[in-house]
Structure 1
Amino acid sequence: MVSAITQKEIHTLRISERMDFLIGEEVFDILADDRFKQGWDTLYHNCPWATAFQSRGFVCAWYRVFRDSHLPLVVRAYEGDRLTGLLTMAIPYPGNSRSNLENGSVQVMGAGEFEAEYHCWLAGPENGEKFITAALRQILSRLPKARIQFRFIPAGAPLAWLRQQPEWHKKYVLQPYHRPLLNLKAPGVEHTIKLRHQYKTKYNRLQRLGEVQFHKITTEEAFKAALQELSVQYDFRLGALYNKNPFRNKPLKFELMVELFRQGMLHVTVLKLDEHYLASLVAVADRGWVHLQGLNSHSPFFAKYSPGMLHFLSLGNYLHREGKAVFDLTPGDDSYKERFANVHDQVHTLVISHNPAFLLKKKLKKIFHTWLLEKGKRPMSVELALQKKKYQLKHTLQAGLKNMARQQLQRLKPPKPEALFLKTGPSATPVPAVAVKQDSLSDLLLYQATKGNLSRWEFTEKAMRLYENGAHAYTWTAHQKLLACAWVGGELPDGEAEQAIAVHTIYVHPEAKAELAAFLAAVADAVLQEDPDKKLIALCPSARATITHALHKTGFTALTQNL
């Protein structure tokens, strides 16, 4: 009788004359081989379910940029000299030796990891199933404890083998996801991307402020210059929404973007008001598809004009004129995506492993996800809310049980009104000059949570809301640390706002308390220089003695009644 392992080997030989399993430096060696590169390009263009994220340009750029943090893993199949199958993966564990990989539990993800929206394999329709099953056997035989994960497998990729072949039945979890698309070739697409009345009104209001321009960035020099600012906008927005700062936490993402631009794989458009970036989309694009994956930003300073939606509408029209086939809005169930979509399909996440506990965890998540959808809830929103609660609990515990008890007692007490302070003259005592910036998102991203202050997520989320309400931030930083911040504008009733400006939501880092008066003096000077005829009122919680003392020192006097 033939052993089970030998049967698999025979099955593999029926598919191709040769199958290679390559890892680490072996992969970089073949990336320089011209014949292999030509075979990859041919296979990519002939594979009906391939996306830009499986192209040689994207994968090689990602492998090179993240060489020090991810081990590349490639399985390829040949029939004679012809490349007939290719699976590009990576192991996000730097420093692993072959023995550690073979004996330890490792995560194996599609090349690109989370920089790639889609993970899949390249093959022809005639051998798509045969290749991927043989490739997965190769990985599991060499790395028996591997947890293999595909982020989203695009529609059209063959998946029936998971149900049809018994050997996989207890080794996988497959989860479907709804994908909204804007088919730019569909009849009536012009109506979908039409600038409707509410957005026309906002666009016209923007035009009264200056020149509004939508354009595509086509030169590397212009892209690098724009990316400096757009990446900060992106980090600030994602920090407020999801507590993530992709560029700040992963600086090589900037380098990857530049490399992909050089490869001609990015479609970059911006909406500007004079020299201000209102919104942008840096999208990976190829084969007539433009994917909403890369960088999607908008300026919080102009939030009331809905710059993100204005840019999307302008982009839809632009892509239609360019002759693109599909604007891929990507999975996520976001309302703004559904607003633009005119067709939908289904993509899947897939995990494969010999580890029952790992698979059980994924199955439970799938069941929970399905249950939420049946109840009409958005899974991503529920998961985000749970993540936020977990994060806030961790922040509270780190602050100490004593501080947590104090916060709970404060919540039980009726809130005290904020004290008002009027700027009536120069600083009571000379204060040293402090250099402040206005509306620097980069400065706000340098916030560090300290005992008794907001968590980093809360701080960024609150900053986003204050910007949306029309306030402006004045900041002071040193040594990559936000030392002080004060917000100006809003907070006063309309009648008082006509004759006064509010300074509020004042933050100071514990290391900078001694210089708080100097910071507030600099803020007051900057604000009154712009509006010398208005009065300056500071709002401060009664319990904040440090801020109260600094206000007095800066020339503010406590008010006992309204203006």
Structure 2
Amino acid sequence: MINSDLDRPDHCIRIVRGQEAANLLRDSCFQEEWDALADACPWATACQSYNYISTWFEIYSNCFEPLFVLHETGEGRLAGLLALAISSDGKSLVHAGACQAEYQVWLARPSSSDTFILGALSILREQFPGKYIRLQYVPDRTPMSWISHARTRGVSTKRTVVKRPLLETVTESQINASLRKKSNRSRINRLKKIAELKFTRISKRQDLEPFIGSIADFCDLRQGAINRTFPFRDDPHKKEFWLGLLEKTGLIHASALMLGDAPIAVHIGPISRSSVSLGIICHSPFFSEHSPGKLLILYLAKQLAQENFSYFDLTAGGDEYKSRFASRFDEASILEISFDGFDYYLGVMRHGLLGSAKHMLGPVATSRAKALRRRFSLSANLFHLASSKKKIIYHSRDTPPLPPISVPTVSLRVNCLSDLLLPKVRYSRREMECEFLAEALRLLEAGARMYTYANRGILLHCSWVASDRSAPPGMMRGRGQAWHFWETYNVTEALAPNVRVLSLSQRLHDAKQFASSQDVFVHLERRDDGAARFLEQYGFIHVDRANG
């Protein structure tokens, strides 16, 4: 039986929302009470801290309305807090921080946690009948005995337990031993031949701000290609949120693996007492063959050991690499809470089917990224084989002498990820764009060189140069090493007549630096008469694939 202090006349539970809640966020006394409660709550994380949540509400003020469920003693002391938010359209009730809060839970002292959360859910049911709340993820040490009593309060609750991988910090000598392994040492040495390689701890907003655009591009390209999501592109507030968090002392741990003056891998994550949680982690596709993400995690583990953190929380989720790095596992929970039976089952079905499928499929689900990569690689192969009949191929034994490039009337950019992530009018569905990005990611990681042209925030042209090793399957091969030139995206009706010829000319000029005295194949669409005339003018010969 759960004893309820809330029945005492000197205790009360209440909801504050909207402007009243916003005023509380600016109250220094309330902030002190919040901080003291978080310190006394063993399962609290950075995502429940005043600084984290107040920053989120400040940045997302036009998207969410604050709602706090408060448990206050007769002396006015804060004894319980569930920080929620209502979406601007009034349809969704979420934990404050929404998807930016990796951990979602209430604050209370252990002795009163169960009575507080039951009381909080009861009053929420009264004021928000039919609503559904999903708390993902709830930390391992959170009391859960209240769940068996929730039904008596008219609250439906489903708990799903998931594994959480942790990388315990070890001595610096152990990390150094891992970095000295032959494979890692080879990666490090190859990178050092390119430029100075260094691991950097970032502690100030002004030090992170110059790189936040690249970080967003790295994340969106990979997530779009693999998971069909765009964390930064779909959330225009995300950059400012993480920059704002870095302004709060002791809240965020940020670091980068730098090659010269540019980041090739970055991590930004919240600090929760003696641990750092995985937040944003990304790496440049241009250096993927050197595994910069893996090197970053090793250098980060070394840094965390030096800073006396107990472990690096890799967080729950199906990413396979997390299990490879984990030294142990504990658990986290997903709580699906409904104040209406029908809505509860709809919510469980909406959010739970994928999780259940992953649980049943086991290793198959955790290998989703690899399966998608194989699928996209196969799609690319079939595409190039199927489209070969629609293309004409021009060949030269080496890159021929070309006239100097005149002042261009359009600006083509090389390996510009931000161009690649711009809206694409040719793709009416996200799935089509993501398959295009998956192939682009594969090419960039293989070492292909990308040229793009955009106008007024729309991608209009994307073309490539690649060696045999980097080119897609199905390309015609020469007798020796060959270089290939082709296009993957054009909005023909929006392009100036000379853009495609200028693109081809620039690519051929650039190729003189690395593709001289080698076979050159240019793959053109049959209707591209301008480029065909340009190639024939400078000695390229039309070849038949069958006579390769």
Q: TM-score range by the shorter chain?
A: 0.7 to 0.9
RMSD: 3.6
1: distance between equivalents of 2:369 and 2:466?
A: 34
Q: Which residue of 2 aligns with 1:488?
A: 465
Q: Which residue of 1 aligns with 2:422?
A: 446
Deviates more, 1:433-442 or 1:54-63: 433-442
| 8 A Cα contact 1:129 1:161, kept in partner | yes
* 2:520 pairs with 1:537: yes
2: distance between equivalents of 1:467 and 1:234?
A: 15
Q: Which residue of 2 aligns with 1:38?
A: 32
1:147 Cα deviation from its structure 2 partner: 0.9
| 8 A Cα contact 1:433 1:518, kept in partner | no
Q: 2:271 aligns with which of 277, 282, 285?
A: 285
* 2:486 pairs with 1:504: yes
Q: Which residue of 2 aligns with 1:103?
A: none
Q: 1:75 to 1:452 in 2, by over 3 A?
A: closer
What is the one-letter code of the residue matched to 1:83?
A: L
* 2:254 pairs with 1:268: yes
Q: Which residue of 2 aligns with 1:524?
A: 507
1:341 Cα deviation from its structure 2 partner: 0.9
In structure 2, stretches of 5+ residues that fail to align are: 376-381
Q: 2:362 aligns with which of 353, 368, 376?
A: 376
Q: 2:527 aligns with which of 546, 558, 561?
A: 546
Deviates more, 1:223-232 or 1:36-45: 223-232
* 2:498 pairs with 1:515: yes
Q: 2:315 aligns with which of 308, 327, 330?
A: 330
Q: Which residue of 2 aligns with 1:398?
A: none
1:69-108 correspondence to structure 2 within 5 Å: 69-79=63-73, 80-94=75-89, 96=90, 106-108=91-93
Secondary structure class of the residue paired with 1:302: helix
Q: Which residue of 2 aligns with 1:21?
A: 15
1:490 Cα deviation from its structure 2 partner: 2.1
What is the one-letter code of the residue matched to 1:54?
A: Q
1:72 Cα deviation from its structure 2 partner: 1.0
1:18 Cα deviation from its structure 2 partner: 2.3
| 8 A Cα contact 2:38 2:44, kept in partner | yes
1: distance between equivalents of 2:143 and 2:9?
A: 16
Q: 1:86 to 1:383 in 2, by over 3 A?
A: farther
Q: Which residue of 1 aligns with 2:379?
A: none
| 8 A Cα contact 1:500 1:534, kept in partner | no
What is the one-letter code of the residue matched to 2:394?
A: F
Q: Which residue of 2 aligns with 1:173?
A: 158
1: distance between equivalents of 2:293 and 2:281?
A: 8
Q: 1:383 to 1:236 in 2, by over 3 A?
A: closer
1: distance between equivalents of 2:12 and 2:41?
A: 20
1:458 Cα deviation from its structure 2 partner: 1.0
1:407-422 correspondence to structure 2 within 5 Å: 416=389, 419-422=392-395
Q: Which residue of 1 aligns with 2:440?
A: 463
1: distance between equivalents of 2:158 and 2:194?
A: 53
1:58 Cα deviation from its structure 2 partner: 0.2
| 8 A Cα contact 1:129 1:159, kept in partner | yes
What is the one-letter code of the residue matched to 1:136?
A: L
Secondary structure class of the residue paired with 1:455: helix
| 8 A Cα contact 1:291 1:329, kept in partner | yes
Q: 1:430 to 1:157 in 2, by over 3 A?
A: closer
Cα deviation 1:239-294 (Å, max 9, x = unaligned):
2112222222212111111110001322111111112321110111131211101x
Q: 1:58 aligns with which of 52, 68, 71?
A: 52
1: distance between equivalents of 2:124 and 2:194?
A: 58
1:82 Cα deviation from its structure 2 partner: 1.5
2: distance between equivalents of 1:487 and 1:146?
A: 50
What is the one-letter code of the residue matched to 1:420?
A: I
TM-score normalised by structure 2 residue count: 0.85
| 8 A Cα contact 1:74 1:87, kept in partner | yes
Q: 1:508 to 1:366 in 2, by over 3 A?
A: closer
Cα deviation 1:353-407 (Å, max 9, x = unaligned):
1333333245456477446534434546669989x99xxxxxxxxxxxxxxxxxx
Cα deviation 1:303-342 (Å, max 9, x = unaligned):
1111111111111111111111221000113221111111
Cα deviation 1:167-204 (Å, max 9, x = unaligned):
26861121111100112269997599655332222112
Cα deviation 1:90-141 (Å, max 9, x = unaligned):
11234x4xxxxxxxxx321111000110100101011011111111111111
Q: 1:140 to 1:192 in 2, by over 3 A?
A: farther
Q: Which residue of 2 aligns with 1:403?
A: none
Q: Which residue of 1 aligns with 2:204?
A: 219
Secondary structure class of the residue paired with 1:519: helix
Cα deviation 1:476-508 (Å, max 9, x = unaligned):
111111111111112379995976532124421
Q: 1:258 aligns with which of 243, 250, 253?
A: 243
| 8 A Cα contact 1:528 1:534, kept in partner | no
Q: 2:286 aligns with which of 298, 301, 315?
A: 301
| 8 A Cα contact 1:475 1:485, kept in partner | yes
Secondary structure class of the residue paired with 2:212: helix
2: distance between equivalents of 1:187 and 1:202?
A: 20
Q: 1:151 aligns with which of 107, 122, 136?
A: 136
Q: Which residue of 2 aligns with 1:405?
A: none
Q: 1:247 to 1:502 in 2, by over 3 A?
A: same
| 8 A Cα contact 2:427 2:433, kept in partner | no
Q: Which residue of 2 aligns with 1:183?
A: 168
2: distance between equivalents of 1:540 and 1:359?
A: 55
2: distance between equivalents of 1:467 and 1:195?
A: 28
1:83 Cα deviation from its structure 2 partner: 0.9
Q: 2:214 aligns with which of 229, 236, 243?
A: 229
Q: 1:355 aligns with which of 340, 354, 364?
A: 340
* 2:293 pairs with 1:311: no
Cα deviation 1:488-541 (Å, max 9, x = unaligned):
112379995976532124421131163343432443354145348346734426
**Between the two proteins, what is the percent identity of the paired residues?**
26
Secondary structure class of the residue paired with 1:247: coil
What is the one-letter code of the residue matched to 1:220?
A: R
What is the one-letter code of the residue matched to 1:122?
A: L
What is the one-letter code of the residue matched to 1:509?
A: V
| 8 A Cα contact 2:419 2:459, kept in partner | yes
Q: 1:445 to 1:15 in 2, by over 3 A?
A: farther
2: distance between equivalents of 1:497 and 1:440?
A: 32
Q: How many residues align?
A: 522
1:227 Cα deviation from its structure 2 partner: 1.5
Q: 1:351 to 1:91 in 2, by over 3 A?
A: same
Deviates more, 1:153-162 or 1:353-362: 353-362
2: distance between equivalents of 1:368 and 1:282?
A: 27
What is the one-letter code of the residue matched to 2:435?
A: E
2: distance between equivalents of 1:189 and 1:14?
A: 55
| 8 A Cα contact 2:62 2:88, kept in partner | no
TM-score normalised by structure 1 residue count: 0.83
| 8 A Cα contact 2:476 2:521, kept in partner | no
What is the one-letter code of the residue matched to 1:89?
A: L
Q: Which residue of 2 aligns with 1:400?
A: none
In structure 1, stretches of 5+ residues that fail to align are: 1-7, 97-105, 390-408
1:11 Cα deviation from its structure 2 partner: 6.9
